[in-house]
Amino acid sequence: MLDWFKRISRDEDGAITVEWIVLTAAMVGIAVAMVTMTGDHLIAMEDKASTQISSLADQYY
């Protein structure tokens, strides 16, 4: 049984999979943090752009 544990501890077959999972999770975490930090500013910019487009549409149509 002890030999089995030693053999498993030295086995590196799944290491690359774990690395990709950790990297993917980090990228998702960074993306969520960016959206959370900039979400309110993006909504404010969208409202301002919408107002400006509406005023231009009223002028020309």
> What pLDDT sits at residue 42?
86
Among residues 7, 27, 10, the alpha carbon closest in space to that of 19 is found at: 27
Residue 47 falls inside a structural domain: yes
Q: How many domains does the structure of the chain reveal?
A: 1
Residue 45 domain-assigned? Answer: yes
21 in a domain, yes or no? no
Q: What length does the chain have?
A: 61
Residue 2 lies in a domain: no
Domain extent at residue 50: 30-61
Does a structural domain hold residue 18? no
pTM beyond cutoff 0.75: no
In a domain, 49, yes or no: yes
Is 43 among the domain residues?
yes
Please report, for residues 5, 7, 24, 41, the alpha-carbon distance to residue 33 in angstroms, rounded to integers and kept in the order given.
39, 40, 14, 14
The 10s digit of each residue's pLDDT in 5-56 is 778 777 777 778 888 999 999 999 999 999 899 888 888 899 999 999 999 8
Which residue is listed with tokens 């030295």? 10
- φ/ψ of residue 44, rounded to 5: -65, -40
